[in-house]
Structure formats: C-alpha cells, structure tokens
Amino acid sequence: MYKQVIILRKDLHAGKGKIIAHAVHAAIGAMRKVDDEIIEKWESEGSKKVVLKVRDLKELKDVEGNLKKSKIPYFLVKDAGLTQLKAGTITALGIGPIEEKKVDKVTGKLRLL
C-alpha cells in the first residue's frame, strides 16, 4: 500500500485558504519527486492521503532530517511572502506517495491535523 503524507505547521498565523494552498503545493511538489509507476499504483489503490501537524518549524525540521536519513524524497514548501507570511517561511512538507510502512517509520508519531 502507498500513501501520501502532508505535514503542516500549527504555529503559523495564516488564513485557512493559505494553509490549504500550501498543503496542495506540498502534495503536488512531493508527487513530482516520485516515479510514474508508483503514482499509478497509488492511484489504483485509491490515492490515500494523510494530513498531519507539527507544533513548529523545529519539529518540521526534525521530520525533514529523519526523511533525509531514510532517503525518502519529500518537498518543502516556502512562502513567497506576497500576502500573510514573510518570504521564505517554511509552511509545509509533502511526502510521497511512498510505501506506507516506510513513511510511517518517520511520521507515525505525528497527530492528524
């Protein structure tokens, strides 16, 4: 089984629309890092997605470090700074789709958004 994981920071003071847009950026960016064959398998299984939360940037960076160690591809979203947040603010992280067992080893302790 494959799944995609989106991780959002809870400490940012941004509107719901902005947060949703960044979740979508994370999903698309992460998907672009995956082979078409995996995407096809994931889609045939129902395109499972999970949205999780972290408290702050430090916790997100900890997850990123664990993804690097595990050699799991991911996509980090940074705000352009045109509206509510400063340019370069890291807001979200997208993973996969990837094998569920692999991603759960890194994200299994995070809570649902």
Q: What is the pLDDT of residues 56-82, one digit of tens each?
A: 999 999 999 999 999 999 999 999 988
5 touches 95 (CB < 8 A): yes
* pLDDT tens per residue, range 14-33: 999 999 999 999 999 999 99
Enclosing domain of residue 18: 2-107
95 touches 67 (CB < 8 A): yes
To the question of pTM greater than 0.85 for the whole model, the response is yes
pLDDT, position 64: 98
Q: Give the CATH number, domain containing residue 88.
A: 3.40.1490.10
Residue 113 lies in a domain: no
Q: Torsions phi, psi of 111, nearest 5?
A: -95, 155
Residue 42 lies in a domain: yes
14 touches 91 (CB < 8 A): yes
| Residues 6 or more apart whose Cβ sits within 8 Å of residue 101 | none
- CB-count burial class (<10 Å; 0-12, 13-18, 19+) for 48: middle
Number of compact structural domains in the chain: 1
